[in-house]
C-alpha cells in the first residue's frame, strides 16, 4: 500500500470537524464513550457521516439481538476483508454476549456450532459475496432456523452500513482504535 493512499483522509479531531459533523460526533462520543477513528474519518464529509449513522441507528432498532447484529456486521466485514471493522465488531459482539468461540469461528469463516447463528452468518456472507444473489436454499435454511423472511431485509441494511465503512477503510486505511485491539493490519 502506498503512503499517498494511506493518508487520503485523516480522522478529524472533534475541533477540526465542521459544525454539522461535530453534532454527529458528539452523539457518537456520548453513546460509545469515544469517537472511533473510522467515524472520525467519515467526519471529513458530514453527508457521509450522517448517512452512515442514520443507517446504523436504524439497523440497531431492528429485531435481531445486539449480539446477532454484531455477528451480521462481523460476517459482512470478514467478507469485505476489512480488518478495522472485523476488530470493531468482534469486540462489540463479545461485549454483547456472543461466545468467544462463535466470534472466532465467524472471523475464520467456519461454522459456529449453533444452527441458528450459522444460518444467520451464512446468509450474510452469501449476500455480500454474491452481491445480493442469495440462493433459495440459503433463504430456506435461514427461515428454517427460526428467523422471519422479513429479517433478510434487516440484514441488507447491516450489509449496506458495512459496505460504507469497509470501502472507506479500503480507500484510506484507518488506524485501529485501542478499544478494538490496536494496530491496523490488512487481510
Give the per-residue pLDDT at 181: 77
Q: What is the helix, strand, coil percentage profile of the chain, to 5?
A: 65, 0, 35
Give the per-residue pLDDT at 187: 44
Which domains, and CATH codes, for the chain?
A: 18-61 (no CATH), 66-160 (1.20.1290.10)
Distance between CA atoms of residues 121 and 117, nearest Å: 6
Give the per-residue pLDDT at 185: 45
Distances (CA, A) of 169 to 42, 109, 163: 10, 21, 10
In terms of pTM, does the model score above 0.95?
Answer: no
Give the per-residue pLDDT at 186: 46
Distances (CA, A) of 108 to 4, 76, 86, 146: 31, 12, 11, 24
The C-alpha R_g of the chain, in whole angstroms, comes to: 16
Give the per-residue pLDDT at 182: 55
- Residues in the chain where the model's pLDDT stays below 70: 1-6, 182-187
Judged by DSSP in three states, 181 sits in coil
Amino acid at each position: 500500500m502506498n503512503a499517498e493512499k494511506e493518508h487520503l483522509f485523516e480522522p478529524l479531531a472533534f475541533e477540526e470537524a465542521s459544525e454539522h459533523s461535530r453534532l454527529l460526533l458528539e452523539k457518537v462520543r456520548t453513546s460509545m464513550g469515544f469517537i472511533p477513528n473510522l467515524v472520525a474519518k467519515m467526519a471529513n464529509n458530514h453527508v457521509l457521516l450522517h448517512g452512515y449513522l442514520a443507517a446504523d441507528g436504524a439497523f440497531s432498532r431492528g429485531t435481531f439481538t445486539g449480539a446477532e447484529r454484531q455477528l451480521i456486521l462481523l460476517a459482512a466485514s470478514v467478507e469485505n476483508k476489512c480488518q478495522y471493522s472485523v476488530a470493531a465488531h468482534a469486540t462489540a459482539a463479545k461485549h454483547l454476549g456472543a461466545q468467544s468461540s462463535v466470534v472466532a469461528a465467524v472471523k475464520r469463516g467456519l461454522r459456529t456450532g449453533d444452527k441458528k447463528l450459522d444460518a444467520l452468518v451464512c446468509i450474510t456472507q452469501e449476500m455480500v459475496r454474491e452481491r445480493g444473489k442469495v440462493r433459495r436454499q440459503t433463504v430456506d435454511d435461514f427461515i428454517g432456523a427460526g428467523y422471519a423472511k422479513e429479517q433478510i431485509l434487516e440484514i441488507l441494511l447491516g450489509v449496506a452500513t458495512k459496505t460504507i465503512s469497509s470501502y472507506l477503510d479500503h480507500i484510506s486505511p484507518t488506524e485501529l482504535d485501542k478499544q478494538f485491539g490496536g494496530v491496523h493490519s490488512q487481510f
